[in-house]
Chain A
Amino acid sequence: MSELLRLSGVHTHIRRYHILQGIDLVIPQGQTIMLLGRNGAGKTTTLRTIMGLWQASRGEINLAGERIESRSTPDIARLGVGYVPESMAVFSDLTVKENLVLAARDGPLDDRQLDWIFGFFPALRRFWLSRAGSLSGGQKQMLSIARAIIEPRKLLLIDEPTKGLAPAIVMALIECLKEIKRKGATVLLVEQNFFAARELGDGVLVMDNGTIVHRGEMAALAADVPLQERLLGLSLEAHQ
């Protein structure tokens, strides 16, 4: 399986704090890799560094063979990287439609792609002309993910999509992400909901103190309770 993304010895400093301390990871094409770890381990910083929102102070980031660690965020996005931040960051003053029009950078909205998205998130069709700021938290998350998949992307970076959402909405999101996966997308997914992680992950990376401390199959980690407790300080079962 060919690799799509490779980080080699990546360090990131945020002001005087040394957050990422030599990250090495590989994301194979077409795989969904879960990035797990305690709060403050550096998961969000890893996604933001890949996206160019924080500059790596050392190390290499290769996307499909191209060095991107010195590129600007818009350039990285134009290489086909979609980003769903933890805060969702929908443009609340814009309508649902306007949010998606902006996300469809390369042209008008594709009706077939829209219908596919509406299949998972019917609320977006219903509230098409409503201001995004008036959507519920779950609907905003749907919009945030829809924005990332409105056009084909090589790589999706998704940061805690299920955080703070009602169980029914979490299930809808998991189904959507599974379908995105079935379509062959490559995803690096930060997730605290271990049920979602187990459902979606092909591989898993566990972070602690700015480094990768474990890499392997998601299914293997899900089956190994002592390993979960050692790596994460709790078992997956305890955190569903």
Chain B
Amino acid sequence: MTDLAATDPLPKPKRDLAPILLPIALALAMIPLVGSTSSWLTLTAASLAMGMMIFIMASGLTLVFGLMDVLNFGHGAFIAVGAYVATLILLPFAASMQVDSLWMNLAVLAPAALLSMAVSGALGLVVERVLILPVYGQHLKQILMTTGGLIVAEQALYAIWGPQIIPLPLPASLRGSLVIGDVAIAKYRLLAMLVGLVVFIAIQLVLNRTKLGLLIRAGVENREMVEALGYRIRRLFLGVFMTGSALAGLGGMLWALYREQIHASMSDDLTVLIFIVVIIGGLGSIGGCFIGAILVAMVANYGGFLVPKLALVSNILLMVAILMWRPRGLYAVTSR
């Protein structure tokens, strides 16, 4: 028996830095391949911005996976709904968006973001109560129900807003790039990075500094024991589900502005990327999700620049490589 006695010194917990170093190593390895420093910096900034947006959309999904073992294939609906709902404010106030004043633009963007989050979060409440609640613990039915929900949501968006692509120009103050020497970084990407970082820090603070966060982390690991301690984890899950849906809505709005257009099936390609991020990050791990999102974005950007023909499969290859290295993802939280 190798058990330590109670009084034996505790082995020092090892800090697992390898996943954190991975995107740094990948970025550094790309310098000679890309060739030009300015191109490399532009690609890296684009990767960070894209990664942050994907992280915002995926963070809720990873907690839902980890906390309640629910396969929500309809997560993309919240992204599309968030983007469309934002147009309810962005389009009527398009004139204010075209004024070259950051404060004027933010005065329109902020309420649009809040409305997106509120509606997507409320939709999350309905989806959890109507579609997910009856099929807890039944993965196949979860896939069918949530995929069906996604199709219904997309068709509802077509019915309400029409099948045409809606152009969504960037606000005037966020168009163009900041040029530092030879390096040009799009202003909107800086905003996306900032929002992503704020969301990441906020989630980390909640998870690590509050009792609610402790409950979520404990629930991801062993929800049965959390219930045995007297906490109603279903309510906790509902809160997490709604928050995840709201964040997906926010991500949807950011993504729509990034692409400068909206259509009802805009989340289809994103959903694949989000699932890859959740899987390679480790189910239920916010840190893993953050690093995974950056990795996925780096592979998409560097890969698209260096080997455009491999762009479509590059993220699948990344997932295979990560899972061969760590079969339960970069930071395994659950035993699933």
Contacts and interface: CB of A to CB of B under 8 A. Distances in A.
Contacts of B222: 89, 91
A85 B1 CA distance: 21
B229 interface: yes
A89 B6 contact: no
A105 B218 CA distance: 14
A127 B8 CA distance: 11
Contact of B6 (A93, A101, A130, A169): A169
B228 A123 contact: no
| Residue of B10, B13, B333 with most partner-chain A CB within 10 A | B10
A1 interface: no
A225 interface: no
B75 to A, nearest CB: 24
B13 A131 contact: yes
B268 interface: no
Contacts of B13: 130-131, 133-134
Interface string A185-224: 0000000000000000000000000000000000000000
A168 interface: yes
A72 B232 contact: yes
A233 interface: no
Interface residues of B, number: 30
Contacts of A102: 211, 214-215, 218, 226, 229, 231
A56 interface: no
Interface string B215-235: 101101110111111111100
Contacts of B220: 93
Contact of B3 (A85, A103, A121, A138): A138
A137 B228 contact: no
| Residue of B4, B6, B215, B333 with most partner-chain A CB within 10 A | B6
A218 B8 CA distance: 34
Interface of B: 1, 3-8, 10-13, 211, 214-215, 217-218, 220-222, 224-233, 333
Given A77-B229, A164-B3, 14 more contacts: A72-B227, A73-B228, A77-B228, A89-B228, A91-B222, A93-B221, A101-B214, A105-B231, A123-B7, A130-B13, A136-B5, A138-B6, A139-B6, A169-B6
Interface of A: 51, 53, 72-74, 77-78, 83, 85, 89, 91-94, 98, 101-103, 105, 121-123, 126-127, 130-131, 133-139, 142, 147, 164-166, 168-169, 172
The 9 closest A-B pairs by CB, nearest first: A136-B4, A77-B230, A89-B225, A123-B6, A73-B227, A134-B13, A91-B218, A83-B228, A137-B3
